[in-house]
Amino acid sequence: MEPSQTSSNAERGVRIQAPLVGSVSCYCRVDAGLKTVVGARKFVPGSKLCIQPDINPHAHKSKNSRRERTRIQPPLIPGLPDDLAIACLIRVPRFEHRKLRLVCKRWYRLLAGNFFYSLRKNLGMAEEWIYVIKRDRDGRISWHAFDPIYQLWQPLPPVPVEYSAALGFGCAVLSGCHLYLFGGKDPLRGSMRRVIFYSARTNKWHRAPDMLRKRHFFGSCVINNCLYVAGGECEGIQRTLRSAEVYDPNKNRWSFIADMSTAMVPFIGVVYNGKWFLKGLGSHRQVMSEAYIPETNSWTPIHDGMVSGWRNPSISLNGKLYALDCKDGCKLRVYDEASDSWNKFMDSKLHLGSSQALEAAAIVPLNGKLCIIRNNMSISMVNVSSTDKNVESNPHLWETIGSKGHFRTLVTNILSSIAGRGGLKSHIVHCQVLQA
C-alpha cells in the first residue's frame, strides 16, 4: 500500500488495531460475582479481564497517564515475578493485611481490589471475623471486629455520623464481605431511608441507594444475596407499616414486594427452609407471626409450634433451626419439624448468671460452628455438627473465647451494675460475620 493510501485511510477514520493494554493503567473487573463493585474501577495488576480492552492510540493522555506508562514498575517482591509474589501474599493471615497496605502503593492497590480476595476465597484461605455493633452507656454506637484465630479485637474505622446515635436500624451482610446498615431513626431527623455499607476488603464505608420507605424497628433478612426489609414504624399518620421491599445488589436498586397481611413491628426473624419467618407486635400490640415465600411473593400467617416456642436469638444452620434455652446462652434448643416442637439440644453445664452484661445477645455461624456473643463481648463457640452432644465427655464441643480481649469491658459492666442498676448500660445491637 502506498503512503498516500495509508494517509487517506487514516483521514477516513479506518480503525487501527489498539495495542495491548498494560496492567499499569488497566482497571479491571475480576470478581464477576460481585456486581455491586462493577463500577468501582478497582486496580488489579496483571489481570486480563479488562473493562476497556480497546485503547485509542490517538486519544489524549494526561501527564500522569504517560508518566505511569513510561515508568518501569518495581516488582511486588524483589527477585520474584508478580504472579509468584501474589501467591505468597495471599497466604499472609488477614490479621496482617492492614500492615500490608502500608508497605507501598502497589501492595495497597493489590489489597484494595477484588482480585486478591477472590484468590483467597477460591483457594479456601479467606478468614471469617465477627463484627459486633454495640450501643455504649452514653447511647453512642461503636463497633468491634474479633479475629477468632488470634483471639484479638481489631481496630475499625468509625461508624459514619448518621448512625453514631441511630435507633432501630437494620444490619445485614451481602456478598460475604459487605456489611450494610440501613433505615433507623435519627434522634433529631426522625426515620431514615439511608443505606451505607462497609467493605471488609477495603476497610472503608460506602453509600448505597436509599430505601423506598422511611422505617425503623423493622425486620430484615438476606435470601439469595438480596436484602429484604418489612414492617417497622415510621413517624407520621401511618405509624406501623405493612410495606416490604428488596434490594438487589446486581441491579443496585430497591423495589417493593408484596405487603404483609397486617402491619407489624417485628422483634425476631429468621430464614428457614427457604421462607422468611417474622414474629412481632401488630398495630394493636398483639403478638403475631407471618412467613414470606420469595417464589410466590406472598405472605402467610403462621400459628404452628415453631413460632409459639420461638425465642430470640435464633439461627438457621445446615437446615436446622437453633435457639437459646436460657438467658446467658449456656443451653441450646433445636426445632424438630416432625413433632413441630422445640427440644433440648445441648447444655454447657456452666451457668454464667442473669445480669445484663452476661446476657446472650446474638448467635452467628462461624466456620461451621455456632458463636454465642454476650453483652460483655465474651464469645462461646459450639460445635453442633458432632454426633456426641455430651459436653462433659467432649469439652471441645463448647469453648469460650474472646473474653480476655475485652476484659476491661467486663470489669466496666460489673462496676456499673454495682454503681447503679437502673442506669443505661452498654449492650450489643447487631452481630455479623464478614469474610476476607
Average pLDDT over residues 323-340: 93
Over the stretch 86-133, which tens digit does the pLDDT of each residue have? Answer: 999 999 999 999 999 999 999 999 998 889 999 999 999 999 999 999
Q: Are residues 54 and 117 in the same domain?
A: yes
> How many CA atoms lie less than 13 Å away from 342 in the CB half-sphere?
18
CA torsion sign, 57 to 59 to 60 to 61?
Answer: negative
Choice between 249 and 351, residue whose per-residue pLDDT is larger: 249
**Domain identity same for 71 and 138:** no
Which of 386, 377, 367 has the alpha carbon at shortest distance from 433?
367
Q: Are residues 195 and 147 in the same domain?
A: no
Residues 147, 204, single domain; the answer is no
Q: Which residues, 6 or more positions from 6, have their beta carbon under 8 angstroms from its beta carbon?
A: none
pLDDT for position 64: 58
Distance CA 41, CA 28 (A): 7
| pLDDT top residue among 116 and 72 | 116
CB 296 within 8 A of CB 320: no
Q: Are residues 141 and 118 in the same domain?
A: no
Q: What is residue 50's predicted lDDT score, i.e. its pLDDT?
A: 34
Q: Of 274, 303, 332, which residue constitutes the final position of a domain? A: 303
Shared domain for 359 and 293, answered yes or no, is: no
Q: Does one domain contain both 110 and 192?
A: no
Is residue 228 included in any domain, yes or no? yes
Alpha carbon distance 391, 315 (integer Å): 21
User: Which of 303, 332, 356 is where one domain is finished?
Assistant: 303
What pLDDT score does 65 carry?
Answer: 54
Backbone torsion region of residue 148, taken as left when φ is above 0, otherwise alpha when ψ lies between -120 and 50, otherwise beta: alpha
| Number of separate domains in the chain | 3
User: Same domain for 109 and 136?
Assistant: no
The per-residue pLDDT for range 170-191, each reduced to its tens digit, is 999 999 999 999 999 999 989 9
8 A C-beta contact, residue 114 and residue 37: yes
Q: Is residue 376 pLDDT above 60, yes or no?
A: yes
Q: In 54-176, where does DSSP find H-type helix?
A: 63-70, 82-89, 97-100, 105-112, 114-122
How confident is the prediction for the chain on average, in pLDDT?
82
**Is residue 352 one of the residues assigned to a domain?**
yes
pLDDT band at 409 (very low <50, low <70, confident <90, very high): very low
Cis check for the bond before 313: say yes or no (omega within 30 of 0): yes
Give the C-alpha separation, 206 to 67, whole Å.
30
Mean pLDDT of 343-347: 93
- Residue 308 counted as domain residue: no
How far apart are the C-alpha atoms of 166 and 142, rounded to whole Å?
11
Domain that holds residue 105: 17-122
pLDDT of residue 312: 87
What is the rounded radius of gyration, in angstroms, for the C-alpha atoms of the chain?
26
The arithmetic mean of pLDDT across residues 13-32, rounded, is 38
Q: What is the pLDDT of residues 205-231, one digit of tens each?
A: 999 999 999 999 999 999 999 999 999
368 and 400 housed in the same domain: yes
Which pLDDT score, from 0 to 100, does residue 252 have? 97
- Give the pLDDT confidence score for residue 392 in this predicted structure: 79
Q: Residue 355 — pLDDT band, cuts 50, 70, 90?
A: confident
Q: What is the pLDDT of residue 403?
A: 59
pLDDT at 309 over 90: no
Task: Judge whether 209 lies within some domain.
Answer: yes
Q: Of 78, 97, 122, which marks where a domain is finished? A: 122
- pLDDT reported for residue 70: 43
Predicted TM-score of the model (pTM): 0.80
Residue with cell 469460650: 400
Q: What is the mean pLDDT of residues 368-389?
A: 91
In this predicted structure, what is the pLDDT of residue 202? 87
Q: How far is C-alpha 193 from the geometric centre of its chain's CA atoms? A: 19
Domain presence at residue 431: yes
Per-residue pLDDT at 158 exceeds 70: yes
* Confidence (pLDDT) at 185: 96
Q: For 227-281, how does the pLDDT look when each residue is reduced to its tens digit (9 = 90+)?
A: 999 999 998 766 899 999 999 999 999 999 999 999 999 999 999 999 999 999 9
Instruction: List, in sequence order, every beta strand (DSSP E) within 124-166.
Output: 128-135, 141-147, 152-154
Question: Which is more confidently placed, 54 or 213?
Answer: 213
Residue 327 lies in a domain: no
Give the pLDDT mean for 137-151.
Answer: 94
185 lies in the same domain as 272: yes
For residue 36, pLDDT over 80 is answered with: no
Please indicate, yes or no, if residue 332 is contained in any of the structural domains.
no
Q: What percent of the chain has pLDDT over 90?
A: 65
CA–CA dist 355, 372 (Å, integer): 16
pLDDT of residue 38: 39
Q: Is 70 exposed, middle or buried (0-12, 13-18, 19+ CB in 10 A)?
A: exposed
The angle formed by the CA atoms of residues 404, 405 and 410, to the nearest 5 degrees, is: 70
Record the cell numbers describing residue 258, joined without a space: 408484596
Kindly state whether residue 238 falls inside one of the protein's structural domains: yes
* pLDDT given at position 15: 42
Q: Do 152 and 162 fall into the same domain?
A: no
Would you say the C-alpha torsion 173, 174, 178, 184 has a positive or negative sign? negative
Q: What is the CATH number of the domain that holds 234?
A: 2.120.10.80
Q: 331 by DSSP, 3-state: which?
A: strand
Same domain membership, residue 212 and residue 116: no
Question: What's residue 212's pLDDT?
Answer: 98
Q: What SS3 class is residue 71?
A: coil
When pLDDT is averaged across residues 372-401 and rounded to a whole number, the result is 89
Instruction: For residues 361-383, give the mean pLDDT.
Output: 94
At residue 67, the pLDDT reads: 55
